[in-house]
Each structure stands twice: as C-alpha cells, then as structure tokens.
Amino acid sequence: MKIALLGNPNTGKSTVFNLLTGMRQHIGNFPGVTVEKKVGKINVDNEEYELIDFPGTYSIYPRSKDEEVVYRSLCNNQSVNYPDAIIVVVDASNLERNLLFFSQAYDLQLPIMMVLNMTDLAKKKHKEYNLDEIQKLFPEALIVEANARAGMGIDRIQSALLMFKGREGDTFQTEVIAMVDNIAQQEIETEARFKRIASILPSIEVIRLKKDSKSNKLDRILVHPVWGYAIFTFILFILFQFIFEFASIPMDLIDSSFSSLSDFLASSLPNGVFTDLITQGIVPGIGGVVIFIPQIALLFLFIAILEETGYLSRVVFIMDRLVRPFGLNGKSMVPLLSSVACAIPGIMSARTIPDWKERMITIMVAPLMSCSARIPVYTLLIALVIPNKLLLGFISLQGLVLFGLYSLGTFSALGMAVILKLLIKTKKKGFLMLEMPSYKLPSPRNVLIIVWEKVRIFVWDAGKIILAISIVLWVLATYGPGDRMSEAGEKAQIEYSEKGYSEVEVDQYVASVELENSYIGIMGKTIEPIIEPMGYDWKIGISLIASFAAREVFVGSMATIYAVQDDGEANRPLIEKMRSEKRSDGAPVYTLASGVSLMVFYVFAMQCMATLAVVKRETKSWKWPLIQMGYMGVLAYLGAWITFIILS
Amino acid sequence: MTQILSKIKNGETAIVCQIEESSLKVKLMEMGLIEGKELQVLYRAPFSGPMAIDVGGYVLSLRKDEANLIMVELKPNKA
C-alpha cells in the first residue's frame, strides 16, 4: 500500500517520517523533476506500507518547484506516485492555517489520516482543541494525536494504518480543487475554505492565553540590528573553525590510510596495468572523494542543528534585505554557506527558493564560494610564494592571503549575482513569505539523518563523476602516442642511473619523464601558449588539466611532475623542488606573480565536472552549466592574467 | 481608516481588510491572511528588511513589497 505523507512545513512531518521508517529510507527523485523523494517502509501486522514523504506545503497549489510534485502526484490518478491513502501531519498549535491544506487533501476522496502533531506546543501556547468537533468536521478521516518530537503517538499512527477505510463521498467544501494555473479559481476556493474554517474554529479550538513570549524575547536579540549580525558572524566563525581546524584530523587519517592502501595493493598485487589502474586510478580516486566527507559532514551538522532549532529562518530574515540588491533571496544563505564545503549539496539546497530567478542566480554563483577542494591548492601555493611573516607583529601574512582568497570568491559571487540580476529577465516578482517556527531543541535523530543524506548525496552524485574522471585522467597520464612514453622512460632510466641516483629517485624521474610524454603531458604542452600570459609553464598546464575533475588533484599531479614523494599536508619536498624550478632564461617559474595568479585562477575556474552535472540536472538544460563554465573560465583567465601583470 | 500593513508600527495590532489583486494573493491567503484576520506586528529586520507578524499564533515574515499588498485597519491598543 502506497501512502503519501503530507503537511505544512514546520509541522514535524519529517520527524514523523523518520520515526515511522527509521533508517529504512530510500531517496530518489520524483519523475521528471529534481525534487528529492524519500520513501520508507513500514511493517505492521505483516502488512507492508510504502510511505512517500512529500515536500511540505501550505496548500495543494504549488508555489515553488518543490511543491509542484504534491499537486501533480495527488491530482492525477495516472501519476506513478498517486497514493492509495494519505497521512496529513497537522500542527495542533496552528489549526486554522493547517486545516486549509487538510481540507483540500480531504476533498481528494482518498482514504485519509490526520496526525494532530505538536500537541505539547499547543499546550504551551495555551490552545486547546476539541477532538470530537474536528472528527465531526471530517467524518471520514482517521484522527490521531501525536507528539513526534517526544516520540509519542507513533504506535497510534501504526495501528491506525490498519484502519484506513474507503471514502463515501463526504466533502468539506463543494468547490472543486482548481487547475494549477487557474489563479482566480484558486482564490475563490481558498477564501471559501478559510471562511468555513473561521466560522467553525471557535467550536474546535479554545485559546486560553495569547503570545509566545519566550520566542519573542529571543527574537529581539537574534534579529537585533547589532546583536543579530554579531551573533550570526560569531556562529560563522565557529563553523569555519570546525571546518578548517577540526576536520583536518580525520582528513589526514583518511589521506594516509588511502595512500597506505595504495602502497599495500601495489606491493601485494602482481605488476601490471590492472594493478596500476587500481593503485593509481581507482584507489586515489575514491580517496579523493572520501577525504571531503569530514568537512561536509561537519558543515551540515551545523546547518542541520541551526535549522532544527529554528534559528536558520531568523538568518534568512535578517539577511534577506542585505542580499536582495544582489538579486538573491534570504534563503540563498544556506546554499551559499553549504558551498563553502561543497557546491553540490549547496546547489541542491537552492530548491527551497520559491522564485525562479533568485534560485537561478544562487545556483550560478554558488561555485564561486571557495569549496574545500580548493584548500589543498591554496595551502600549497601560499606556502610556496607567500613569506611566513607576521604583519604588525600578530597577523600572519599567509593567513591573510588565505582570507583574501575566500573574500575574493565571496565578493565575486555577489558581483556576478548583480550582473545576472540585470541579465536574467523575468516577469514574476520574487517573494519571501517565510514562517518563523518557534525555537526548539534539535532532535539528534533528525540532525543525523540530514547529515547522512547530504554526505550520501556528495559521495553518490559527486563521487561517481570524480571517480570516472580520475580513471580517464589516469589513462591519459599512463599512455602516450606510440612508443614515445616508454622510449623517454627508458632513456631517463639509463640517464639517471648513470648519474648515480638511488633507485627510488630514478623511479621518480622516470615517472616524471613518462608523464611529460603521456597524452596529458602533450595536452599540457599544447596549452602552454594559452596559459603563458598568466605566468604558467606546461607543467602547470598538465596539472590544470589533471585537476579538472577535482581541484585538489593539482597537488598530487604536481608531485608526480616534479618527481617527488607526495607526503601529504606539508608538501615540503614538493615546495623545495618548485622553488628551484627555473625558466630557460634562468628566472624562477614560481614567483609571487605566477603563484598568486595561480591562486586567483583557482578561485574562479569551474574545475569541477561534478558541479556542472548537478547544475545541469537542477536546471534541466545544458545552457546554464555551459554559461557557468564559460563565465567562470573568463573570470579565471582574466583575473589570473591581470594579477600576473600587476605583480610582475 | 485603512492603510497598508508595512506602515503599521511594531507592537501594534491590526485587522486585515483586503489583499490587493496580484499573483501573490493566493499565497498570502494560504498563509492565513484573510479578511477579518487579526494580526500583530512583532518586529522588523534591520535596514527596512522583512517584517515579522503574528498571525493567529504563528510568526510569519514578509518582505516590505509583500506587506504593501495587504490593507489593514489599525486596532486601537487596549493599553
């Protein structure tokens, strides 16, 4: 039996879903749209129920992309998601508004259950409802009281599942549900429903006392012109502290375990192409995905907690006016913040922005926020060309440059947003209309499920593309036209052996020479004239191409080219080698100018296939990802070129 | 005297008279803003940002543009 789980936002719908289905959830997409579809299984008395979690909506009429699926699935009995029965979660502390949607759902003539949730909150707001009167209004509905946050009422919902009964034609309102584009009829219908609800409300709800004074007091601080922003800044500070400082511990661990795994496999498997593919292509490819999990998990842990407590909607509230001149919505804050870890979950979370234009702009600029994959590149280049000095005795120059790179990304995101705001034409006006939920303690279960989902999205969506490209790049780096590679390799072998180098060193030089003569090496050399104005040579060119799948590959690729052991975070031997690298005229390759130019290039360039794929899926056309790659490429090239000219 | 919601000061209570015809009308109604509904302006975001109003016990935030669509009648404060 297929059951649709519906309800207004902030009614505790997902808590109900999580409690009913536990971790037995499967996430897919609604057909034709990119809206996430969560399906869970419930077993009661040997009967299996399939519970589909629909996006929260205030009415059956959609206002954002997310909400369209509710109308399309429920108002069309040919839809694959057309349910056999529906459960609507209703916020007992706000019956009037919640009953609008319930009454619409009731009139669909499907077997229906009302879960009267948040009964505790209703009590706190001194509201009492009359269950008998509600039952009289909806005689054919099952009504169950619950307080899902405290885990109460779940057993009642489960037993009620067995009692779903067929409908006999009772309706709340005779007006039929309007067509999705018939706004006039929707108005009439909505108004008529509310009139009826308002007229019966006094009989079903008694309000003893008004005002939720605690929330109100807290709000006065959290949206205060000074304190509000100060608190938000402080929270951001803590968040970045976690991402940068604490995430590095598990990340180092993952890094070293994957390289030992590669080493172990390389020594235990028989020599050959297949082993090389595993140890140099697949294992590092998977490692390159897994390494970002700690940062992504930590960031979403924070965001989920902020969301669960209700604070996030206050952030939207105070930021909306500030970001509106940039064509963004207060709701763009979450996508942009998430993009600091990874643009992929960030872009996907832009779905909650109801306005198409504001959503598009958010998606288009999100990858300019410096993501975690850029950190290894920044770290290497900063250590290479920025002196480790203190400014004014206490500000680290290197830290300042890193901060500058993040700021450059953020400000250019805002700048691009303004340009896009002028370029994208639309008749519709954006809107906010946001419910500010009461503050509550986050439920650990909900938080963990959110973190798990985001990590899963990253590993699955980004991971498979990063892995696929890693393998392609491995092929390009392992093979070259004809015998060119092996000949060059053999020559190097003889040459460096004669010079008396140790076996390990000879191997490193051979690897370097082979890479130079591989397909990717040839590609790097081919683009040298194009990248020369920015101060780069073909070795950098190879690494630029190699890091197209994932930016951090730049570091590993450089290590191979310079024939040094990749020793993880510190990169000491690599930095020494790069420092001594000279051009044919004897001038060093890596100067302040070329180094900073390369940093600027990485701030802007869309070096991430996985992001492009997600943008394509979210916007349902190749147009947007191509524009995005184009404008970011132009920014990267011009930015790096100008930087190089100014600094040299 | 009717006036637009965005002109109502924090802490004041008003009653919805009418919502101007626009594409947002249905959406505003769905949020509970219907004729005769009593609401209280709670607070505003800085820099003339959105305003938060209490609509029958829940808090709704609206941009100024959205609040401009709502005609209300000020309810005298019962001190």
SS3 for A528-562, per residue? Answer: HHHHHHHCCCHHHHHHHHHCCCCCCHHHHHHHHHC
> Which among A187, A190, A434 has the least Cβ separation from residue B61?
A434
Q: What is the DSSP code (8-state) at residue A26?
A: E
Among A359-368, A395-404, A496-505, the range scoring the smallest mean pLDDT is: A496-505
Residue A102 has pLDDT above 60, yes or no: yes
Which is more confidently placed, A610 or A367?
A367
Q: What is the CA radius of gyration of chain A?
A: 29
- Rounded Cα distance, A50 and A48, in Å: 7
Using the beta-carbon criterion (under 8 Å), do A215 and B48 form an inter-chain contact?
no
Mean predicted confidence (pLDDT) in A131-160: 92
Tokens of A633: 């490429």
Q: How large is the average pLDDT for residues A189-213?
A: 80
**Token couple for A257:** 């375990």
Measured CA to CA, the distance from residue A384 to residue A575 in angstroms comes to: 6
The token duo for A574 is 């690599």
Q: DSSP string covering A332-351, please?
A: GHHHHHHTTT-HHHHHHGGG
Q: Which of A94, A428, A435 sits opposite B23 (nearest CB)?
A: A428
Name the nearest CA neighbour of A116 among A152, A167, A83.
Answer: A152
Q: Is B48 a member of any domain?
A: yes
- CA dist A213 and A434 (Å) reads 20
A–B CB contacts, 8 A cutoff, strictly below: 124
Neighbours of A176 (CB within 10 A): 10
Of A600, A609, A603, the residue nearest A368 (C-alpha): A603
- Residue A283 reports pLDDT greater than 50: yes
What's the mean pLDDT in A78-84? 91
Is B34 a domain residue? yes
Higher pLDDT, A276 or A3: A3
Task: Summarize pLDDT for A593-623 with one digit per residue, the tens.
Answer: 999 999 999 999 999 888 998 899 888 889 9
Looking at residue A374, what is its pLDDT?
Answer: 92
What mean pLDDT is predicted for residues A258-271? 88
Tokens (6 digits) for B53: 């109003």
Distance from the Cα of A225 to chain B's closest Cα (Å) equals 5
Q: A226 to chain B nearest CA, in Å? A: 9
Between residues A51 and A394, which one has the greater pLDDT?
A: A51
Three-state secondary structure call for residue A371: coil
Give the tokens for residue A631: 């404008």
- How large is the average pLDDT for residues B19-29? 89
Nearest to A89 by CA among A43, A53, A62, A65: A53
Nearest chain A Cα distance for residue B40, angstroms: 10
pLDDT tens figures, A338-355: 898 889 888 988 887 878
pLDDT of A214:
63
Indicate if the pLDDT at residue A404 is higher than 90: yes
Contact criterion met (CB below 8 Å) for A329 and A323:
yes
**What's the rounded Cα separation, in Å, for the pair A595 and A644?**
9
Q: Which of A194, A211, A223 lies at the smallest CB-CB distance from B43? A: A223
| Statement: residue B79 has pLDDT above 50 | no
pLDDT at A221 over 50: yes
Domain count, chain B: 1
Q: Do A93 and B36 touch (CB under 8 A)?
A: no
Interface check for B11 against chain A (CB to CB < 8 A): the answer is no
Which chain B residues have a beta carbon less than 8 Å from that of A436?
Answer: 52, 59-61
Report percent pLDDT > 90 for chain A: 43
Cβ distance of A97 and B62 shorter than 8 Å = no
More confident residue, A560 or B39: B39
pLDDT of residue A2: 93
Q: What domain range is B63 assigned to?
A: 2-74
Q: Percent of chain B beyond pLDDT 70?
A: 96
- State the ipTM, two decimals: 0.94
| Amino acid letter, residue A220 | R
Task: Identify the sign of the CA torsion A396, A402, A404, A410.
Answer: negative
Nearest to A354 by CA among A273, A272, A428, A449: A428
What mean pLDDT is predicted for residues A429-453?
Answer: 88
| CA dist., res. A324 & res. A327, Å (int) | 5
Q: Where are the beta strands (DSSP E) in chain B?
A: 2-4, 13-19, 38-44, 51-55, 58-62, 70-75
* B74 in reach of chain A (CB within 8 A): no
Of B29, B44, B48, the CB nearest to A187: B29
Using the predicted structure, report yes or no on whether residue A245 has a pLDDT greater than 90. no
Å between B61 CA and nearest CA of chain A: 5
Is residue A106 a contact partner of residue A98, using CB atoms and an 8 Å limit?
Answer: no
Interface check for B61 against chain A (CB to CB < 8 A): the answer is: yes
Spatial CA neighbour of A591 closest among A576, A577, A578: A578
Tokens coding A25: 């959830």
**Is the full-model pTM beyond 0.80?**
yes
Q: What is the DSSP string of A430-451?
A: P---EEEPPP-PPPHHHHHHHH
CA-to-CA separations, A643 to A20, A266, A558, A597, A637, in angstroms, rounded:
57, 42, 22, 5, 10
The pLDDT tens digits for A544-593 are 998 887 788 888 888 877 866 555 556 777 888 888 888 878 889 899 99
Q: Is A90 helix (H, G, I), strand (E, B) or coil?
A: strand
Asked if the model's pLDDT at residue A311 lies above 70, the reply is yes
Residues in Cβ contact with A497 at an 8 Å cutoff, skipping those fewer than 6 apart? A506
How far is residue B79's CA from residue B76's CA, in Å, rounded to a whole number?
9
Q: State the number of CA atoms in the 13 A half-sphere of A246 facing the CB.
A: 10
Nearest residue of chain A to residue B43 (CA atoms): A220
Is residue B79 in some structural domain?
A: no
**What pLDDT is recorded for position B77?**
66
Per CB-CB distance under 8 Å, the chain A contacts of B41 are: none
Residue for token digits 């490692």? A287
**Across residues A456-484, what is the average pLDDT?**
84
Put residue A291 in one of left, alpha, beta given phi > 0 → left and psi -120 to 50 → alpha: alpha
Whole-angstrom Cα distance, residue B49 to residue B78?
Answer: 28
Range scoring the smallest mean pLDDT among A61-65, A289-293, A414-418, A553-557? A61-65
Q: Which residues pair with A27 in a beta bridge?
A: A38
User: CB–CB of A185/A179 below 8 Å?
Assistant: yes
What mean pLDDT is reported for chain A?
Answer: 88
Strand partners, B4: B71
Q: How far apart are the first and last CA of chain A?
A: 70
* CB proximity under 8 Å: B 14-43 to A: 23-32, 34, 36, 42-43
CA dist., res. A124 & res. A209, Å (int): 10
First to last CA, chain B: 20
Q: Is pLDDT of A284 > 90?
A: no
Average pLDDT over residues B60-78: 89
pLDDT digits (tens, 9 = 90+) for A500-517: 888 888 888 888 888 889
Q: How far apart are the C-alpha atoms of A359 and A348, rounded to whole Å?
A: 10
Of the candidates A68, A98, A64, A56, the one whose C-alpha atom is nearest the C-alpha of residue A329 is A64
What's the mean pLDDT in A414-423?
A: 95
Domain holding B20: CATH number?
2.30.30.90
Q: How far apart are CA A548 and CA A432, in angstroms?
A: 37
- Strands B13-19 vs B70-75: parallel, antiparallel or unpaired: antiparallel
Of residues A314 and B78, more confidence is placed in: A314
Q: At what angle do helices A553-561 and A572-580 cross, to 10 degrees?
A: 60
Strand order through the sheet with A2-7: A25-29, A36-44, A47-53, A2-7, A85-91, A112-117, A142-145
Could you give the CA distance from residue A323 to residue A313 in angstroms, rounded to a whole number? 15
pLDDT of A568 reads 55
The alpha carbon of residue A326 is apart from the nearest alpha carbon of chain B, in Å, by: 14
In this predicted structure, the answer to whether residue B56 has a pLDDT above a threshold of 50 is yes
What's the maximum distance between 2 C-alpha atoms anywhere in chain B? 37
Whether pLDDT at A46 is above 60 = yes
Residue type, A7: G
**Cα gap A613→A622, rounded to integer Å:** 9
